Amino acid sequence: MTENPHHLATPGGKPRARSFGIGFDGTPGPFNAITDVPGIAVGYATLISGDGALVVGKGPVRTGVTAILPRPRAELATPVFAGIFSQNGNGELTGSHIVEETGAFNFPITITNTHSCGVSRDGTLRWMHQVMPAALDCGWGLPVAAETYDGFLNDINGHHLTSEHVAEALDAAAGGPIEEGSVGGGTGMISFGFKAGSGTASRIVGWQGNSYTVGAFVQSNFGKRCNFALRGLRAGPELVEPAIREGSPRAEKGSIIAVIATDAPFLPHQMKRLARRVPLGVAMTGGFGYHSSGDIFLAFSTANPAAAQAPSGRIANADFIPDSDIDPFFDAVIQAVEESILNALVANDDMTGRDGNFVPALPKAWLREKFGLKEKSG
């Protein structure tokens, strides 16, 4: 079992899946996070306030926004080669059309709740105009913003997220170990009837004497309890309790957003191929892509910056690993996505939101019983 403290606990002391002795395939990076990819930074703004009956516009509030910077702040105008895949399109990811058209995007990525997706998109443009005005002086911006639904716990129609919160998350973005669970856009999210939200993991892939990193970040908000699986264990049937308690009716509105980042040199069509492997990692935890689930996945590579912003009038050159050698990177995506989802579940506590709606955490005692270890802290 790993003794790396970053693999066992979040910076805030929340347990991660490996702290219970759960075994995973592949080799994680130093932080076991998307931030193991050089230049990637993650920041959050978390909004938690109020209790009791829902009063639209006042709360209770259980939401937030996550910001992912695909390049260092000074290089955010430089595009990254990218691909997207929608397993089930009952959701939103802005900027998807230009990614499909050009195989690239620039500016930060944000993830929030369904009814604040436009705010996070526009807030990103406001922030970029402040920190890098030249990037917008002579052109337009089409930032990537994604969403999942948190209306069971949050006053989602109260529109509590503002551009200032988006700027807060962007300003807070940093590398290194990052928090998981009920933080940022994942604050009000639920998976398999347990409290979930933000999760991350990474894998190291060797190729021709070089070492590359594949990192995953998920906003996990999907799945039925009966389907939940943990490393091959069909856990759902024996985890009927603790159950969600509803003070107000709950509709099935589940989704998952996953962002895959790598420093391996790949072309846009190859990034789309990596994005298409995300559902396999989701399926390993029991996600089946039901009708109401928005399962939308983005993959990008930080390699080839010169080719991604090549000027007109000259031939552009890009390095890339051949498609015939891509399989280990498929493995890395699937492994990192599975672990990211489980980290989002493990690094969590019970939460009560609007109208007394209650979502339990995945029971830690059950994890200790099944995997035979007491969780360790960092």
As annotated, the active-site residues are 255, 293, 295
User: How far is it, in rounded angstroms, from Cα 345 to Cα 290?
Assistant: 20
Number of residues in the chain = 378
Distance of CA 271 to the CA centre of its chain: 17
User: How far is it, in rounded angstroms, from Cα 48 to Cα 84?
Assistant: 31
State how beta strands 109-113 and 144-148 pair.
Answer: parallel
Name the residue among 300, 295, 296, 251 with its Cα closest to residue 274.
Answer: 300
CB contact at 8 A, 179 and 6: no
User: How far is it, in rounded angstroms, from Cα 31 to Cα 175?
Assistant: 10
Residues 67, 69, 71: CA angle, nearest 5 degrees: 180
CB burial readout 322-352, b (16+ within 10 A) else e: eeeebebbbbbbbbbbbbbbbbbbbbbeebb
End-to-end Cα distance, the chain? 14
Block residue for tokens 């031939």: 315
